Each structure stands twice: as structure tokens, then as C-alpha cells.
Amino acid sequence: MFGFYVVMLFVSGIVVLGVALLASGMHRGRRIVNCLLGTAFLGYGIYLAAFFHSGEYRIFFWVFILPFSVLADAVRTAEAPAPRRPAARRPSTPRRRPAPAPTPSRTAATRERRAAAKAAQLEALRAKHAAGSDASDDRAPSTPV
């Protein structure tokens, strides 16, 4: 049992360290924690294999669970990366305003064409009104006098 546990410490430490170093989609804090845990597992495995000769040792069941948990988390974050937050704007940086829309340039010819069009519309309305008032004069008033 002791030899199996030491091998599992090495495997767990290497897997957790590998995921922490290679999984770029993970949050930085999670990667640091995984790095620390992998180093701790690897260090405890080295201690038990090289320096421990007899006595009591502790079996941490996280050695068996953590590699699978870290791998599942790395796969989940690789499939759906976290949305990027917009960078905070520095107070000293001036905010750019959009350029105003260009106003159409009006030349003298444009003004004359518009004035002529309005004059033609006005003349057409006057002619229509004059034609309508001539026809209504011949009829009898609708109200008694």
C-alpha cells in the first residue's frame, strides 16, 4: 500500500502541475492554487520515497480525487471560456467622442432649385384654390340667409 500511495502522489502531482501549466483557459488564481497543490503532492511523494524510512505517514484521499477534478475543470473551461471583462478605463485617458456627421454643403444652385420648387408648389396650390373657388360661387349657399 505504501508504494502505491507514493506512486499516486507522483502521478497526482505531475497531472495537477501539468494541467496548471498547460490549461490557458483557466483563471489565474485557480492555476496558482493547482500549481501549489501539485507541488505539495510531488514534494510529499519525494519526501516519502527518499527520506521516510519508518514511522507513521498520512494518506490524503485528495491524491486520488484531485487529478480527475482538475482535468474535468480544465476540459470544462476549455470548452466554454469565461467572458472577457472590458478593461478599466484609466482616469487620465481622455474619452474619444465620435466625429459628427458631415453636413451637406448647400451651394447657391441648390438653394435656387429648392426655392423654385417651393414657388412651383405654392403656385399650384393657388391655381387649385382659385379653380375651386370659381366653381363654388355658382352654387347656392348651403345655409339660409
pLDDT at 126: 92
pLDDT at 123: 93
Helix residue ranges, H only, the chain: 2-22, 28-46, 62-79, 108-137
Q: Cell numbers of 132, please?
A: 375651386
Taking only the tens of pLDDT, the chain with its 145 residues reads 888 888 988 999 999 898 888 877 778 888 898 899 999 999 989 988 888 888 887 788 888 888 888 888 888 877 665 567 776 666 666 667 788 877 767 777 888 888 999 999 999 999 988 887 766 555 555 555 5
pLDDT at 31: 87
How far is residue 67's CA from residue 16's CA, in Å, rounded to a whole number? 6
pLDDT at 23: 78
The vertex-34 CA angle with 30 and 36, nearest 5°, equals 120
How far is residue 25's CA from residue 81's CA, in Å, rounded to a whole number? 6
The pTM assigned to this predicted structure is: 0.50
